[in-house]
Structure 1
């Protein structure tokens, strides 16, 4: 009996060890794959799933497979909170890949903070992680509004722009961009001479742009996400405005090109480098990573990746990198993300810190234009 018992115990222990080795490490996703922001969330989910597939193809993390559990939030703030609670309380996730939109990211901050679980948000507003001492568990993967605006306004300064006008969406992303422009325009020698806003359901921005035209600005900025950007650009052309037109980094999207059509030609967009990989210098630290990502994404999905795919791809990979270093421990993962330095991603080269939960470095941004319906380097 003793020998049989010992043998049984050994077999049970071996079985348990095997089962434990086969258990997946779960990361939660809050990517909106339907609703008004599906054009952001679906590419995000595609990028995230590609990252998981690649990690698992290389043996996972310490012999364990990675699993992404995504709940579609539909871009709705209330549904985002419900989904976040469900993932954090019921799904045993060790980290979160946050929503693509700023509004939903703001909505779930308290839930994530209370759960003491790291989230890398894909929203573009700085306020999502500010102040970092009060939002210890929240990080960003996209380029931020201040980062891309610095590139945008540097280009304006080179062009001799003094007076600018702003049309923004009445959304957290739009108002955050407005606030940062108001704060920083003077440091580039510029004055905002007109400001107009539009609602997410507006189908015509002609009245706002007519008022902007009367201010006779040297350049115009449209700061928004979603289909409204394309409507604004079309209305801009219809009114015959000729001043340089700048859009936010949310416009570096194939869906925008499709909706705007020929009206998009010659606009200027601060962006990640994802659409101009072949134009990068060989010494660019992101070129190899970007080339591999674009190739693998195209092979898997049969189409080139949008910038949003790169955001979520980076978020998954950075959480996975933290797990490799410290194991699937929620607290240690947070600390490991904050400790990442010079991490070369698709969207940016990232270096986080206790006072910097943005991560992305300024030299990760390029200025794009549109030529014949395609993105190209502006300079």
Structure 2
């Protein structure tokens, strides 16, 4: 069964990927999404849907106020297929089309930056957290509106260090996997966590038995998988095929609905899976996120995972769409200040701030292009197909659970 959100995404890609296929005025402000729509559809979907919601809200209020008057906003969605070369091609297209902003998962950021720097086109990375991707002095057009690997890896190392674990690490050969591995190894070294196995795999590998077995034979008692959702699935399947009772820790891809879809016949396998990510609700409480969620689901529909628990449909909460949503609203606020895209907008982005969808502050400075507070990382553990904040971490224990079941 194709999940509702994926079926809708396929229609949207067909409608939007042509750039000029939408009826539009030359005065429209163009937002371009370049994401792995075909290779990592959850990531592509949340970037596209968050941006679309923000654009719909802006246009419902007359668009964005600039020095030349109010301007409506238009969205183009492009598939980078996880290819740096395709991401660079999409960036050149965005520049040629005079886009106001480019939203991306982070694929090919090093190839994209020289193109967008020269054109003063701001780029918001809405998924990948590699430390090397953000350097305002080198790549001034790159901003990150997503959690960085470094604080996630440090929190994970701190979380498990007291048990003096022997860790097996599995990463894939994507930039997400390679940069996540680097952050993990640095964090484990700082916390003196012993890494007994360091295994690599091809991205979206169907079988990781060899890598999992190597970690088991090396004496690992915890398995950390920083890789695509497909690799997370393959690792969990291999763990159970080998009859190995080992806790599995992942990065944000552990939350990908694909993991639960592929393991639909074995919900109990997820009970030993914990992932590190950013907290959905902020210090001000759950109110702002709940308000955002209500607006998101009223406009975009409920994101059904495609599995059931306790007789109810499991719902994916719109946590990651907040990043592209916030990026579009921050650009709109900065355009109202700067009056025009390009260099004036870039300058405004280094001083304008907004309150984001969940109540957190979103803003940058000329020497700081990270948009998520490093202290906002938490851990969630699955209970069947639903995840909840863990109770054995001081920050996570203060975070309320978010409903993920629908009648």
Partner of 2:398: none
Deviation at 1:154, TM superposition (A): 2.1
- Structure 2: distance between partners of 1:342 and 1:128: 26
Bigger strand fraction: 2
CA contact (8 A) 1:314 1:346 kept: no
Per-residue CA shift, 1:284-315, capped at 9, x if unaligned?
A: 23633311221122222322444442232222
Partner of 1:152: 156
- Structure 2: distance between partners of 1:335 and 1:236: 50
- Structure 1: distance between partners of 2:102 and 2:287: 27
- Structure 1: distance between partners of 2:353 and 2:298: 30
**What secondary structure, in the 3-state scheme, does the structure 2 residue paired with 1:227 have?**
helix
Bigger helix fraction: 1
Mark the CA change 1:359 to 1:75 in structure 2 (over 3 Å): closer, same or farther.
same
Deviation at 1:365, TM superposition (A): 2.0
**What secondary structure, in the 3-state scheme, does the structure 2 residue paired with 1:103 have?**
coil
Deviation at 1:237, TM superposition (A): 2.4
TM (norm. structure 1) is 0.84
Matched, 1:292 2:252: no
Partner of 1:270: 276
Gaps of 5+ in 1: 1-20
Deviation at 1:344, TM superposition (A): 3.0
Partner of 2:49: 46
Mark the CA change 1:128 to 1:119 in structure 2 (over 3 Å): closer, same or farther.
farther
- Structure 1: distance between partners of 2:32 and 2:349: 16
- Structure 2: distance between partners of 1:204 and 1:165: 17
Matched, 1:92 2:91: no
CA contact (8 A) 1:270 1:367 kept: yes
Deviation at 1:170, TM superposition (A): 1.2
Stretch deviating more after TM superposition (137-146 or 183-192): 183-192
Partner of 2:119: 115
Partner of 1:302: 301
- Structure 1: distance between partners of 2:164 and 2:351: 39
Deviation at 1:115, TM superposition (A): 1.6
Mark the CA change 1:176 to 1:197 in structure 2 (over 3 Å): closer, same or farther.
same
188, 196, 205: which one pairs with 2:208?
205
RMSD over equivalenced CA pairs, Å: 2.4
Partner of 2:87: 80
Deviation at 1:327, TM superposition (A): 2.1
CA contact (8 A) 1:231 1:260 kept: no
- Structure 2: distance between partners of 1:169 and 1:348: 32
Mark the CA change 1:347 to 1:248 in structure 2 (over 3 Å): closer, same or farther.
farther
Mark the CA change 1:203 to 1:129 in structure 2 (over 3 Å): closer, same or farther.
closer
**What secondary structure, in the 3-state scheme, does the structure 1 residue paired with 2:71 have?**
coil
Matched, 1:167 2:205: no
Size of the aligned set, in residue pairs, is 347
